[in-house]
Amino acid sequence: MADIRNNFVGIKSPNPFWLASAPPTDKAYNVIRAFKAGWGGVVWKTLGEEGPPVVNVNGPRYGAIWGADRRLLGLNNIELITDRDLQVNLREIKQVKKDWPDRAIVVSLMVPCVEDAWKAILPVVEETEADGIELNFGCPHGMSERGMGAAVGQVPEYIEMVVRWCKQNTRMPVITKLTPNITDVRKPARAALSGGTDAVSLINTINSITGVDLDSFAPQPTIDGKGSHGGYCGPAVKPIAMNMVAEIARDPETRGLPISGIGGITTWRDAAEFMALGAGNVQVCTAAMTYGFKIVQEMVAGLENWMDEKGHASLDDIVGRATPNVTDWQYLNLNYVAKAHIDQDACIKCGRCHIACEDTSHQAITSMVDGKRHFEVIEAECVGCNLCVNVCPVENCITMEPLAAGAMDQRTGKPVSPVYANWTTHPNNPMAKVAAE
Amino acid sequence: MATGHFKEGIAGGRLSSEQYADNFSDLHPPLDHHEALVESDRCYFCYDAPCMNACPTSIDIPLFIRQISTGNPIGSAKTIFDQNILGGMCARVCPTETLCEEVCVREVAEGKPVQIGRLQRYATDVAMSENKQFYPRPEPTGRSVAVVGAGPAGLAAAHRLARHGHDVTILEARPKAGGLNEYGIAAYKSVDNFAQAEVDYVTSIGGIEIQNGKALGRDYQLSDLIRNYDAVFLGMGLGGVNALRADGEDADGVTNAVEFIAELRQASDLSGLPVGRRVVVIGGGMTAIDAAVQSKLLGAEEVTICYRRGQEHMNASGFEQDLAAANGVTIRHWLQPKRVIAEGGKVSGIELEYTAMNGDKLAGTGEMLMLVADQVFKAIGQSFVPAALNGSGASIELEAGRIKVDAEGRTSLAKVWAGGDCIFGGDDLTVSAVAQGRDAAESINRALTSNGRA
């Protein structure tokens, strides 16, 4: 049986599934329910400094987009950090950690960008015996207007500065949570590392407007006729998050920096993909907010079953396994040739491959052969773009079949070269590196 | 439970009033908004969609379904009505399982087609409930067209002619317009007086006058129409009912299924509608199924359909046969009626002979079967009655007993077009009648105008 116990920067949990800092981890009641359901850890919803708590809008706080049958695909929220009293939160954290010693409790923090504010809060959190802290440099709404959250996360120098203050003032591991609302996620990650962070977590939510009410012309979610960009999360953001995780994992400057992966993780498979790209564990929020805490049972069992099936004994066997395969476009093998192939037995003749190719690609799929409705790839036209595979409603009906070395590529009229060759040496590249004479 | 169930003979009041209401409620309840969104999402928006090609009126089905899925049911309804102004009724009565839904790629792939008929009903219901009219009546052209019969073909022709600015007079023999939509469809397929609502919707474009109680050959002659109108469209359907060719079929209790169905549709109180305790229906088409199922729903204890050929030869679709079976109707094959048995002038049973194929001919085997019955329905097809056409003037050319038309619906007589069940080549479907009426109207418009101008 695969061992899925997790050790993330020294923080141990029975599985790699943590709940992210968010509404589900705002108080003991929810966190206890999560632990009972089987979650390996939580990042307690972000605490602010001592004093009158923040206030939230009085609804709505969330917006969403849906797929068919109202399947929630993306969620947006404008809720701020915890609006409960700091001392109440600290008391509850301490009690829950005492009652659930085997689970990870990390405390998310966001205080003003001055050293004294951090110096003040770190010891009181430490006193709860929580396992670590996560610096909320990502929250894109509300708090960022006050110079916190994403306002810090968007300035690498600030990140480095605050991380350094924290490392100097606490023994607890520091996880720096990054905002995706930047152009190059490697810069804040490098800054966090320079400041001495133990890990980064990403992504926080993405600036978004989920919709516009076309009667009132108000953005959604709508508060008294107005709306503000909120943080987008859920399945829709997963591809964006995975790329950012991979960028940090493969960046020579941050290679080896532990990453807690966040962003649309809904199933064990999502989690496995994040971990393969370099995440040491994962954090989940929207999926729990959509379906409740029970989903962790599917995640745990699914991950274990997959690892058993593939012979992966522990998480170390899967973390980062896909990272080396993420590369720059210029290093992709231009001598690799694949052609679409349509399985005629599986084809239901909807014709979507044809019209996609005909209207928007390379005119490489028939619609009619010998007077019959028939969809077939014209290899001499197929560039192997994969669009037909993506639009086909039948799984595995259209597949991309690589041509073996030496086989004739009917499109180019040339045999497939067995040699790897990329853009850096391609004759069409004016910057091509030519071997010295 | 009402005890009327076991009353001997042909009697009404077999069920409680709740049972009548329940039995004759909507066969396919309408999709609600969410159901319509979910179902519309199942559509793959096929290229050159097979469903569209299977529709006799060529409705752009993928487009109207996509319009539902994007929250535009009004636009969806227009897509439907552009091709088929009776899209509301067709959504209810089309045998979709042998037309659009049969060729839906999801039927082919999973045996579970997109429910095109129910989606079409959803969109058309929205538009009709808002009385959304899509087609403005243009300036009248001054041309007038007579339409004989206010059935699907006549209504479709009239609407299309009115859209082109022509004045239309529909002459209808029956007290109400609608034709088979009003008189010939099983009650549970068209509830809430939908047929009349649709007639009102179609005619509200303006320029269409319906005169009821006007029968061709009785109240006026074809030659009158040719003289008084610029063009004539014949859409009077089929007036005759084929005979059983069994001894004693004039006994009390032997009824035409089409009359029974019409009577049922017009009944204000179903409990007052008498039906036999043991009913035998002779025939194998939709009418046989409609009569049999409705007999059962009216409380008949035992209903048997007898068809002279095999299951695979039945005109009724598989869905309709299953519907009959699910309602407790027994369908028996390879039986032809020989003799109606009567006691005191009233039907008491029917004697049938088993049949078999003898080479490519159907023949009796000599083996007989007796079924006890107090009511026998004839549902072995209808026939065209040409007599009404020939009251005066030149006679119209027929083919296999029905009116001969060319591809545009032109008959052998100048100025006269025809469509629907009365023409040769019709397939007894509402949707085909609509297509023929529509296309004949376009042909008439071309004949009455030059380059589309009067």
A88 touches chain B (CB under 8 A): no
Distance of alpha carbon B140 from alpha carbon B151, whole angstroms: 24
Spatial contact of B394 and B225, defined as CB atoms under 8 Å apart: no
Instruction: Kindly state whether residues A162 and A32 are assigned to the same domain.
Output: yes
Q: Give the chain B residue nearest A357 (alpha carbons).
A: B47
Size of interface A-B (CB pairs under 8 A): 36
| Chain B interface disruption, residue of A70, A213, A348, A361, most B CBs within 10 A | A348
Question: Which of A69, A70, A352 comes nearest B46 by C-beta?
Answer: A352
From A16's Cα to the closest Cα of chain B, the distance in A is 36
pLDDT at residue A225, as a whole number: 95
* A431: in domain: no
Residue at which a domain ends, from A277, A295, A325 = A325
pLDDT at residue B451, as a whole number: 59
Distance of alpha carbon B374 from alpha carbon B346, whole angstroms: 7
From A166's Cα to the closest Cα of chain B, the distance in A is 51
Q: Give the chain B residue nearest A356 (alpha carbons).
A: B47
Question: Which of B34, B38, B105 comes nearest A349 by C-beta?
Answer: B105
Residue at which a domain ends, from A275, A304, A325 = A325
Residue A244 token pair: 């950012």
- Which residues of chain B have a Cβ shorter than 8 Å from any chain A Cβ? 34, 37-38, 41-42, 44-50, 105-106, 108-109
What does R_g of chain B's alpha carbons equal in angstroms?
Answer: 23
Residue B218 burial (C-beta neighbours within 10 Å; 0-12, 13-18, 19+): exposed
Instruction: Kindly state whether residues A257 and A393 are assigned to the same domain.
Output: no
pLDDT at residue B450, as a whole number: 76
Instruction: Kindly state whether residues A310 and A406 are assigned to the same domain.
Output: no
Q: What's the one-letter identity of residue A425? A: T
From A368's Cα to the closest Cα of chain B, the distance in A is 11
Q: The complex's ipTM? A: 0.84
Element (H, E) at A240: helix A238-250
Instruction: Kindly state whether residues A260 and A384 are assigned to the same domain.
Output: no
Instruction: Kindly state whether residues A407 and A305 are assigned to the same domain.
Output: no
* A217: in domain: yes
DSSP string of A49-91? -SSSPP---SS--EEEEE-GGG-EEEEEE---S--S-HHHHHH
CATH (domain of A12): 3.20.20.70
Question: Which of A69, A348, A367 comes nearest B105 by C-beta?
Answer: A348
Q: Residues of A with CB below 8 A from B46's CB?
A: 349-352
Question: Which of A69, A70, A351 comes nearest B48 by C-beta?
Answer: A351
* A430: in domain: no
Asked if the Cβ–Cβ distance from A352 to B109 is below 8 Å, we say: no
Instruction: Kindly state whether residues A90 and A139 are assigned to the same domain.
Output: yes
Distance of alpha carbon A236 from alpha carbon A221, whole angstroms: 17
Each residue's pLDDT tens digit, A202-228: 999 999 999 999 999 999 999 999 999
Q: What's the one-letter identity of residue A13? A: S
Residue B335: which of B376, B387, B275, B382 has the closest Cα?
B376
Question: Dihedrals φ, ψ of B389, to 5°?
Answer: -75, -25
Q: Residues of B with CB below 8 A from A70's CB?
A: 34
Beta-bridge mates of residue B208: B168
Instruction: Kindly state whether residues A210 and A224 are assigned to the same domain.
Output: yes
Asked if the Cβ–Cβ distance from B48 to A350 is below 8 Å, we say: no
Q: Which residue has the tokens 């307690």?
A: A44
pLDDT at residue B391, as a whole number: 62
From A355's Cα to the closest Cα of chain B, the distance in A is 6
* A415: in domain: yes
Question: Dihedrals φ, ψ of B338, to 5°?
Answer: -115, -40
pLDDT over 70 percentage in chain A: 99
Instruction: Kindly state whether residues A272 and A224 are assigned to the same domain.
Output: yes
Q: Comparing B144-238+384-448 with B241-381, is the CATH topology the same?
A: yes
Spatial contact of B371 and B341, defined as CB atoms under 8 Å apart: no
Domain locations in chain B as residue ranges = 33-129, 144-238+384-448, 241-381
Pairing verdict, β A41-47 and A17-19: parallel
Domain count, chain A: 2
Q: Of the residues A113, A139, A388, A397, which is catalytic?
A: A139
Instruction: Kindly state whether residues A193 and A173 are assigned to the same domain.
Output: yes
Residue at which a domain ends, from A325, A344, A362 = A325
Q: What's domain B144-238+384-448's architecture?
A: 3-Layer(bba) Sandwich (3.50)
Pairing verdict, β A211-213 and A218-220: antiparallel
A139 is catalytic: yes
* A437: in domain: no
| Chain A interface disruption, residue of B47, B48, B106, most A CBs within 10 A | B47
User: How far apart are the two ends of chain B, measured CA to CA in Å?
Assistant: 65
Please state, in angstroms and as integers, the Cα–Cα distance from residue B144 to each residue in A68, A127, B221, B225, following that order: 50, 95, 17, 10
Question: Dihedrals φ, ψ of B161, to 5°?
Answer: -65, -40
Residue A411 burial (C-beta neighbours within 10 Å; 0-12, 13-18, 19+): middle
pLDDT at residue A315, as a whole number: 98
Is the sign of the CA dihedral B169, B175, B177, B180 positive or negative? negative
Asked if the Cβ–Cβ distance from B108 to A373 is below 8 Å, we say: no
Question: Which of B41, B44, B50 comes nearest A352 by C-beta?
Answer: B44
A 336-375 residues with CB < 8 A to B? 348-352, 354-355, 367, 373
Q: Residues of B with CB below 8 A from A352's CB?
A: 44-47
Distance of alpha carbon A41 from alpha carbon A23, whole angstroms: 15
pLDDT at residue B1, as a whole number: 45
Q: What's the one-letter identity of residue A230? A: G
pLDDT at residue B153, as a whole number: 97
User: Lowest-pLDDT range, A26-40, A264-278, B114-128, B187-201?
Assistant: B187-201
Distance of alpha carbon B427 from alpha carbon B443, whole angstroms: 21
Distance of alpha carbon B312 from alpha carbon B299, whole angstroms: 29
Question: Which of B34, B47, B105 comes nearest A355 by C-beta?
Answer: B47
Quote the domain boundaries for residue A289: 6-325
Residue B114: which of B124, B125, B101 has the closest Cα?
B101
Task: Tell me whether the omega of the peptide bond preceding residue A203 falls within 30 degrees of 0, making it cis.
Answer: yes
Question: Dihedrals φ, ψ of A294, to 5°?
Answer: -60, -20
Asked if the Cβ–Cβ distance from A350 to B47 is below 8 Å, we say: yes
CATH (domain of A337): 3.30.70.20
Helices (H), B130-179: 152-163
Instruction: Kindly state whether residues A101 and A11 are assigned to the same domain.
Output: yes
From B22's Cα to the closest Cα of chain A, the distance in A is 30
From B46's Cα to the closest Cα of chain A, the distance in A is 5
Q: Give CATH superfamily name and number for B33-129.
A: Alpha-helical ferredoxin (1.10.1060.10)
Residue B145 token pair: 């067209």
Asked if the Cβ–Cβ distance from A351 to B34 is below 8 Å, we say: no
SS3 state at A341? strand
* A27: in domain: yes
From B130's Cα to the closest Cα of chain A, the distance in A is 19
Q: Residue A195: is its pLDDT beyond 60?
A: yes
Distance of alpha carbon A111 from alpha carbon A48, whole angstroms: 5
Asked if the Cβ–Cβ distance from B47 to A354 is below 8 Å, we say: yes
Instruction: Kindly state whether residues A188 and A311 are assigned to the same domain.
Output: yes
Element (H, E) at B109: helix B105-110
Q: Residues of A with CB below 8 A from B37's CB?
A: 68-69
SS3 state at B36? helix
* A377: in domain: yes
pLDDT at residue B393, as a whole number: 65
pLDDT tens digits in sequence order for chain B, 454 residues long: 445 778 888 988 899 989 999 999 988 889 999 999 999 999 999 999 999 999 999 999 999 999 999 999 999 999 999 999 999 999 999 999 999 999 999 998 999 999 999 999 999 999 999 999 999 999 999 999 999 999 999 999 999 999 999 999 999 999 999 999 999 989 999 888 999 999 999 999 999 999 999 999 999 999 999 999 999 999 999 988 888 888 998 999 999 999 999 999 999 899 989 999 999 999 999 999 999 999 999 999 999 999 999 999 999 999 999 999 999 999 999 999 999 999 999 999 999 999 999 999 999 999 999 999 999 999 998 999 888 887 666 789 999 989 999 999 999 999 999 999 999 987 789 999 999 999 999 999 999 997 555 5
Q: Give the chain A residue nearest B33 (alpha carbons).
A: A69
Fold of B241-381: FAD/NAD(P)-binding domain (3.50.50)
Please state, in angstroms and as integers, the Cα–Cα distance from residue B44 to each residue in A117, A392, B77, following that order: 57, 9, 19
Question: Which of A68, A350, A394 comes nearest B46 by C-beta?
Answer: A350
Instruction: Kindly state whether residues A192 and A269 are assigned to the same domain.
Output: yes
* A370: in domain: yes
Asked if the Cβ–Cβ distance from B106 to A69 is below 8 Å, we say: no
